[in-house]
Amino acid sequence: MYNPKSTKAEEFISHKEVLETIDYAEKNKNNIELIDSILEKAREKKGLTHLEASVLLACEVPEKIDEIYTLANEIKQDFYGNRIVLFAPLYLSNYCVNGCVYCPYHKQNTNIPRKKLTQEEIRNEVIALQDMGHKRLAIETGEDPVNNPIEYVLESIKTIYGIKHKNGSIRRVNVNIAATTVENYKKLHEAGIGTYILFQETYNKESYETLHPTGPKHNYAYHTEAMDRAMQGGIDDVGLGVLFGLESYRYEFAAILMHAEHLEAVYGVGPHTISIPRIKKADDIDPESFDNGIDDEIFAKIVACIRIATPYTGMIISTRESEECRKKLLHLGISQISGGSKTSVGGYFNPMPEDENSAQFDVSDRRPLDEVIKWLMEMDYVPSFCTACYRAGRTGDRFMEVCKQQQIKNFCHPNAIITLKEYLEDYASEDTKNIGNNLIKKELNTLDNKTIKETVIEDLEKIEKGERDFRF
Ligand code: SAM
């Protein structure tokens, strides 16, 4: 029985409800009257239900698809402006006891060298990341209670926050580790993490169990209810995601929106972010062996429809995707990207030849961070290293409130400008710095609140003189 208020996985992600949604969407994919009425509701910019959004995703009418893209772009502009938040993943350990068939870290894979960073090695990685200019990390580990216990993760977070190198500091550590207990989520919360991220991989229970044949991750309910436990443990920024390619994309699309609706219904706050990874080639993994691959066109439609359905939720795309693909998706709704990423354990301090390393999967966008920053600015995006909201306690429902009132521009835009200036002063190449300083001049004109504008100008001058870490 479908019930978004239930905390039982099979009730808030009801298989029957997903199938009925897909069926309804398929039957109405050319129903112009219905599509128009959904688009009209979507123009209020308060989101759509999984059923409504699924109709838009199924829609095959070219003019209506154009309207979907235009609206997604408009919502992106209204809520996120031209800012793109930057982060990098940091792989701490690839020890893993699970048998996930799409992931090279699976226990049976004896090809890849297993590695777990010591605290000293974490220091080296973090300094290398700080020297690139990163302020925000997502830490990743395989699931292994013996090699990667929660104490190791907590100690690593403490190490990361404690490293002050030159003008660098990591100001927000997001965490992507396996589903765990309320107790452990409490500990992560107390350690001051940003978002807790966990990809569902697939919402289809039967496929999930086949794709995760062994290990603790096999338990569908435990994995799917992880965000509930995270919320109960005090973490109010959670990040959802599915690994596109494993199951039918329409199934995942309807289900991830149901998951968002469930969090909103029970905890009063939807997900902070949605990630949309696609399965990639990796050691021992051939993406062709999964039947549900999606092409760039459908991928773009998924991004646009998620943007319309959940205007208040940030959307993340990683370096799994190519420069070309990322460019296309930026204006359809993506608000965060990774840059200069390494998916191997220890890969920032000590990059290894591709065939020898322990990379999780192939990275398509291999450009250094400076190039990514320059590229964004040449397209008139403002790269942001901002971490202010979470540091000012604007998380969970408090952040959503600010976002719903389209107020994030009063905080986020000044903060983006200030943190970009820090990046330009401390890490950018000459070329990037020139482009950036010109962009900042232009962006100052978009600040219509006089007091805010004056404060930003003062902060920019102080940054040039060597002061750091200003925020609204
Ligand atoms: N071990 C943690 C867990 O169980 O959730 C998460 C860390 S894992 C390093 C991060 C994510 O990488 C996984 O959740 C999965 O979606 C993704 N991933 C695994 N294999 C992949 C592949 N071949 N291509 C693209 N992404 C992959």
Residue 356: pLDDT over 60: no
Q: Is the pLDDT of residue 355 over 60?
A: no
Answer whether 144 contacts ligand 1 (Cβ < 6 A): no
| Choice between 289 and 341, residue whose per-residue pLDDT is larger | 341
Residue 423 Cβ inside 6 Å of ligand 1? The answer reads no
pLDDT at 290 > cutoff 70:
yes
Identify the pLDDT of residue 342: 93
What is the whole-number distance in angstroms between the Cα of residue 103 and the centre of ligand 1?
6
Question: Which residue lies with its CA nearest to atom 25 of ligand 1?
Answer: 279
- Asked if the model's pLDDT at residue 369 lies above 90, the reply is yes
Cα radius of gyration rounded to whole Å, the chain: 21
Question: What integer pLDDT is reported at residue 357 of this predicted model?
Answer: 58
Residue 389, pLDDT score = 86
**Cα-to-centroid distance, 343 and ligand 1 (Å):** 10
Q: What are phi and psi of 332, to 5 degrees?
A: -95, -5
Whole-number Å distance between alpha carbons of 7 and 15: 15
pLDDT in tens, 135-147: 999 999 999 999 9
Q: Whose CA is nearest to atom 21 of ligand 1?
A: 103
| Class of residue 388 by CB neighbours under 10 A (exposed 0-12, middle 13-18, buried 19+) | buried
Q: How far is CA 122 from the centre of its chain?
A: 22
pLDDT at residue 311, rounded to an integer: 96
pLDDT digits (tens, 9 = 90+) for 223-243: 999 999 999 999 999 999 999
Q: What does the block give as tokens for 316?
A: 């993340």
Over residues 374-395, the pLDDT tens digits come to: 999 999 999 999 999 888 888 8
Amino acid at 342: K
Q: What is the pLDDT of residue 472?
A: 87
Name the band, by pLDDT with cuts 50, 70 and 90, for residue 68: very high
Q: Which range is least confidently modeled, 6-15, 51-60, 105-114?
A: 105-114
282 ligand 1 Cβ < 6 A: yes
Q: How distant, in Å, are the alpha carbons of 11, 25, 50, 54, 181 from that of 20?
A: 14, 8, 11, 11, 33
pLDDT band at 398 (very low <50, low <70, confident <90, very high): confident
Question: Of all atoms in ligand 1, which is nearest to the CA of residue 242?
Answer: 16
Q: What is the pLDDT of residue 291?
A: 82
CA of 40 to the centre of ligand 1 (A): 37
Give the mutation target among 91, 116, 199 for probing the ligand 1 site: most ligand atoms within 8 A of CB. 199
Asked if residue 244 has its Cβ within 6 Å of ligand 1, the reply is no
Point out the ligand 1 atom lying closest to the alpha carbon of residue 198. Answer: 5
Q: Which of 259, 143, 258, 244 is nearest to 201 (CA)?
A: 244
Q: Which bin fits 331, alpha (ψ -120 to 50), beta or left (φ > 0)?
A: alpha
**Tokens, residue 37:** 């009425």
CA of 145 to the centre of ligand 1 (A): 17
**Sequential DSSP letters for 49-101:** -HHHHHHHHH---HHHHHHHHHHHHHHHHHHHTTEEEEEEEEEEE-------T
Tokens representing 69 are 């893209």
- Do residues 129 and 93 make contact, with C-beta atoms less than 8 angstroms apart? no
pLDDT digits (tens, 9 = 90+) for 18-58: 999 999 999 999 999 999 999 999 999 999 999 999 999 99
User: What is the arithmetic mean of pLDDT over 196-205?
Assistant: 98
Query: Could you tell me where the DSSP H helices lie in 268-407?
Result: 296-309, 323-330, 369-378, 388-391, 396-404
**How far is ligand 1, taken at its centre, from the CA of residue 368, in Å?**
22
Q: Ligand 1: does its nearest atom lie under 6 Å from the Cβ of 178?
A: yes
Query: 65-90 burial by CB neighbour count: b if 16+ within 10 A, else e?
Result: bebbbebbbebbeebbbbbbbbbbbb
**248 neighbors 242 (Cβ within 8 angstroms):** no
Nearest residue (by CA) to ligand 1, atom 6, is 177
Range with lowest mean pLDDT among 199-208, 372-381, 396-405: 396-405
3-state secondary structure of 317: strand
**117 vs 282: CA distance, rounded Å:** 21
**In the chain, % of residues over pLDDT 70:** 98
Query: In angstroms, rounded to a whole number, what is the distance separating the alpha carbons of residues 147 and 93?
Result: 8
What tokens does 109 get? 């894979």
| pLDDT above 90 coverage of the chain, percent | 87
| Choice from 243, 273, 290, 345 to test ligand 1 binding pocket (greatest atom count within 8 A of CB) | 243
Distance 467 CA to ligand 1 centre (A): 39
**Ligand 1 and 308: CB distance under 6 A:** no
Q: Are 273 and 195 in contact, with CB atoms under 8 Å apart?
A: yes
Q: Which residue has the higher pLDDT, 400 or 330?
A: 330
C-beta of residue 55 within 8 angstroms of C-beta of residue 25: yes
Copy the structure tokens of residue 385: 């290293």
Mean pLDDT over 1-24 rounds to 97
Please indicate whether residue 341, judged by its CB atom, sits closer than 6 Å to ligand 1: no
DSSP 285: B
Secondary structure class of 429 (helix, strand, coil): coil
pLDDT of residue 287: 87
Q: Could you give the 3-state DSSP secondary structure of residue 165? A: strand
The encoded tokens of residue 153 equal 């993760």
pLDDT confidence bin for 283, thresholds 50/70/90? confident
Residue 176: CB within 6 Å of ligand 1? yes
Determine if ligand 1 sits within 6 Å of the CB of residue 370: no
Region 335-349: what's the mean pLDDT? 95
Length of the chain: 472
Q: What is the Å distance from ligand 1's center to 282 Cα?
A: 11
Which protein residue has the closest C-alpha to ligand 1 atom 18?
103
| Nearest by Cα to 21 from 250, 203, 246 | 250
Mutate to test the pocket of ligand 1, among 176, 276, 285 (most ligand atoms within 8 A of CB): 176
Task: Tell me the C-alpha distance between 287 and 308, whole Å.
Answer: 29
Instruction: Supply the mean pLDDT for the chain.
Output: 95
Hey, is 116 helix, strand or coil? strand
β-strand partners of 93: 116, 141
Report the SS3 class of residue 44. coil
Which token pair is 17? 């409800």
Chain centroid, CA 275 distance in Å? 4
pLDDT confidence of residue 404: 75
How does pLDDT run across 418-460, given as a tens digit for each residue?
Answer: 999 999 999 999 999 999 999 999 999 999 889 999 999 999 9
- 402-430 mean pLDDT: 89
Whether 201 lines ligand 1, by a CB cut-off of 6 Å, is: yes
Residue with token string 């479908």: 2
Report pLDDT for 43: 98
Closest ligand 1 atom to 320 CA: 25
